[in-house]
């Protein structure tokens, strides 16, 4: 049991240090991840409000439409996975779009000089 705890601790330390290195060199992953989790959120972070509402609205429409199609298919047990797959596909697209835009704009996230707030520069 102790060996497992030591190995997990080492793994967590390596993961945290590698994530910190990625966050310092390239912060465009933040809007990409946000938009993957909730389509449109990354576009909102990138200050693209209209595009954010569009991505969020399409995510809702795709989920409702996929659920409706899954409900009328004859093999209903497996067809409900269609909803998850459609949402996953749209989340991946939305995340990649937010990442590309953030990278092109030079998105960075960091502490301000006095250390009290955060600054986002485009």
7: in domain: no
Return the DSSP state at 10. Answer: H
* Domain total of the chain: 1
Cβ–Cβ < 8 Å for 35, 59: no
Looking at residue 6, its pLDDT comes to 53
8: in domain: no
95 vs 14: CA distance, rounded Å: 25
Tens of pLDDT, residue by residue, the chain (122 residues):
666 565 566 656 655 555 544 444 468 888 999 999 999 999 998 889 999 999 999 999 998 888 888 878 777 666 777 788 888 999 999 999 999 998 888 877 765 566 555 555 55
Using H for helix, E for strand and C for coil, what is the string for 40-88? CHHHHHCCCHHHHHHHHHHHHHHHHHHHHHHHHCCCHHHHCHHHHHHHH
Looking at residue 21, its pLDDT comes to 45
83: in domain: yes
71: in domain: yes
Cβ–Cβ < 8 Å for 18, 85: no
65: in domain: yes
Looking at residue 22, its pLDDT comes to 43
Q: In this structure, what token pair is assigned to residue 18?
A: 């590698």
48: in domain: yes
Domain containing 109 equals: 27-121
Looking at residue 24, its pLDDT comes to 45
């Amino acid at each position: 049991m102790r060996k497992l705890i030591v190995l997990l601790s080492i793994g967590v330390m390596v993961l945290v240090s590698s994530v910190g290195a990625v966050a310092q060199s390239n912060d465009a992953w933040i809007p990409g991840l946000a938009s993957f989790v909730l389509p449109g959120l990354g576009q909102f972070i990138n200050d693209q409000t209209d595009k954010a509402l569009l991505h969020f609205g399409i995510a809702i429409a795709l989920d409702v439409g996929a659920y409706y199609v899954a409900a009328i298919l004859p093999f209903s047990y497996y067809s409900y996975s269609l909803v998850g797959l459609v949402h996953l596909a749209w989340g991946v697209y939305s995340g990649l779009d937010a990442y590309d835009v953030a990278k092109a704009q030079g998105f960075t996230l960091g502490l301000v000089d006095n250390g009290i707030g955060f600054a986002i520069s485009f």
